[in-house]
Amino acid sequence: MSAAELPFEILAHIARFLTSNEKLCCATICKAWKQPFLESLWIIIRLNNYRNVEYICDMLTSQPNIFEKDTHRTRTLFLGKGLSMSEKQLGIIQQHFQYVETLGVTEQSLGSSEFGEFADWSQWKSLKNMDFCVEGLTLYNQMKEFLRILSFLPCLRHLETNKTTDVPSVVYKLGDFETIHLYLPKLEYMSILGNIEDFTTEDLVRIKTVVPAHKLTVAKFRIFDLDLRWLCYFSRKYPNLHTLELVCFPIPEKASLFRKEAIAMIPSLSNSFQRLTKVTINCTLGMGWGFTAFWDMLRQFGVSIKHLEYRLIGCHSDINQSIMTISKCTRSCSETLELLFMSNTLRCDNPSTIPNTLGSLPRLVDLCIIMEGVHIAIDALLDNCTALRKLRLTVKTISINSNDTSDITMHDLRSLELTKATTGTDVFNYLSHRCPQLNSMRLASMKVVGPVSKDTGVLYFDMSYTHFDYLHFTSVFFYATNDGTENDYSSVNLLNFGTSDPEMNPEGASETVFNLGDIENKMPLDDPLWLHVYCNIVSCMQIDDLRILDQEESDFTQEYFEAYESNVESYYPDHIRRSWWGQVPKESWKDDLHRGYVRFYFNYVGRYVIKTYDGCEDILWNKLYATLS
């Protein structure tokens, strides 16, 4: 089948993935392509400036019959920021684009002080999805007008409010939520940005008789001040929620306000949040303590949370209080949790504290911890999370409690990402022994420390039991610790990849194989690959860079380390100018020889990336990580 014979439906589907300019180009390819690609231009309309608005309104009023079929094809309409459309212009748009299913209204898209004479929101009664900036309405009572608009949209299933400033001014009352669901009986997804007013005495009575919004399954609230009793309202109002997101940053005095009252209301709530499986909490540490009432509620009613994201901002003066907050969170759903994302600014020096705080999570398969001020013992983490398949750690240091690999329980960890941490080479050797299924690993902005042999100059990075499909190093620097300390002046900047050393190759492990894939400098399997990390001066800035030594340099390096002990004694350079991280300029690479080199051992590597900066490969890693089972 030739391109000209492709069915209309296939061409229309292809057009969904093209830009407007690409669609116009395709429309000129051949006669058969013209109609589907031109029609596809009308599916999504974006009015990004006032000239667009004037042009399309003039066109529709002067030649309505010509464009009637085209405007009826439009399913998505976006009104750009600052259009200040008049009521008459809005009325024209509504009259001609009656089959819109998705509408985006940003800040000050609508400029009229009121809508009544020309605008007719009932023309969009088939609307299913709307993203609306309430604060962008140029009205004294923005909420009243917003609710009036919603009264004309009974088919709406997805409602999201966006913001104009970092601090929203719109305030929602309990009655506003009741009105929203009265007007939108089919609503399934609701994301609200604004402030929520504290409950009145009348509201507390009203909570007991609210009519549940059974259709709503996803609720997201991005608010500043939260009366914790609202959680009790949400549990009654939304019995079928499977996803709940709360982003709130209250003033300190209000963080625990009404906490006791909220706890007292829990017994009156029967079987709350029974369908809830995903929870996202983003708040201050003080507010996190207030949320203990919420975690108690989940535990009391046996809610099976599978996906939990918990971000805490700020430091609590009492570290025990902070630890208790985290513990309450994870232990409320420890038996069902499958994915956990934990982020906070806690500082903790004991590497066993965080693993012990999280406790046993037998079903957890995906764990991400971002706590740049804590130390973590990774072996304790694996002990507590026996089903873990994917692990991401952004912490201060990573260690192991025991180097003994003779009596360890094997673990099925598949993917590992470590960022911004200092760790030792012993950790990777331990992981290679314990995690035989580990097949992808990314290290980024890492400091790896270990002993350099005084006889051979080798710092071993030994993962010889590990078969990697994908290995990724970004800004990973190595340091010698022969004196028992780690400092920036003991950097080891020569890296060596090659076939396995028979003396180091463990029983049952095959030769190390490297496939550089698309990298231009392909390495023969029998030859070593030498890399050098050096300092490059760019616009008066010190930039760390990486290069492959050429054949002559590689031969010189190989010969140097074959007689390392005698070479070091005969030549040990002093007072060398180095960068902050301990690198020398590119041409001074020989001044790094006396410091030794890092020798990498792997069972197999299908593809690897080694570099000193972020880039496209980091995006590739994120996509790869997301698809790993």
As given in the structure block, the two tokens for residue 324 are: 């208790």
Distance CA 320, CA 326 (A): 10
Which position has the higher pLDDT, 95 or 22?
95
Of 83, 21, 20, the residue nearest 53 (C-alpha): 83
Distance (Å, whole) CA 478 – CA 597: 9
Please give the Cα distance from 428 to 232 (Å, whole number): 47
Q: At CA 472, angle to CA 466 and CA 476, rounded to 5?
A: 105
What stretch of H or E contains 141? none
Contact (CB, 8 A) for 543 and 535: yes
CATH label, 1-41, candidates 3.40.50, 1.20.1280, 1.20.58, 1.10.3470? 1.20.1280
Token pair belonging to 31: 């006669």
pLDDT of residue 512: 46
Q: What is the pLDDT of residues 554-613, one digit of tens each?
A: 999 999 999 998 888 776 666 777 887 788 888 889 989 999 999 999 988 888 888 877
* Angle formed by the axes of helices 142-150 and 174-183, nearest 10°: 20
Rg (CA), the chain: 31
Alpha-carbon span 139 to 20, nearest angstrom: 35
pLDDT band for position 515 (cuts 50, 70, 90) = very low
Specify the range with the lowest mean pLDDT, choosing from 127-131, 345-349, 598-602: 345-349
* Cα separation of the two ends of the chain: 38
Residues 625, 615: Cα–Cα separation, whole Å: 16
Q: Which two tokens stand for residue 113?
A: 């002080």
Residues 292 and 328: beta-carbon distance below 8 Å: yes
| Alpha-carbon dihedral 93, 95, 99, 100, rounded to 10 degrees | 30
Q: How far apart, in whole angstroms, are the C-alpha atoms of residue 18 and residue 41?
A: 10
Portion of the chain with pLDDT greater than 70, in percent: 84
Amino acid at 394: T
Q: pLDDT digit string (tens) for 358-394?
A: 999 999 999 999 999 999 999 999 999 999 999 999 9
Q: Is-contact 226 233, C-beta < 8 A?
A: no
How many Cβ atoms sit within 10 Å of the Cβ of residue 125? 13
The pLDDT score that the predictor gives to residue 518 is 34
- How many H-runs (helices) and E-runs (strands) does the chain carry? 20, 26
Length of the chain: 629
Give residues with Cβ within 8 angstroms of 17, minimum separation 6. none
List the beta strands (DSSP E) in 490-560.
Answer: 491-492, 494-497, 529-538, 541-548
259-291 pLDDT, tens digit per residue, is: 677 777 777 777 788 899 999 998 876 666 667
Q: Are 284 and 254 in contact (CB under 8 A)?
A: no
3-state secondary structure 275-288: CCCEEEEEEEHHHH
Would you kindly state where each structural domain of the chain is located, as residue ranges? 1-41, 458-627
Give me the pLDDT at residue 239, please: 93
What is the amino acid identity at position 151?
Answer: S
How does strand 491-492 pair with strand 470-480?
antiparallel
- Please give the residue that has the higher pLDDT: either 566 or 36: 566
Cα separations (Å) of 569 from 251, 292, 553, 572, 591? 64, 63, 21, 7, 14
| pLDDT top residue among 428 and 620 | 428
Give the global pTM: 0.87
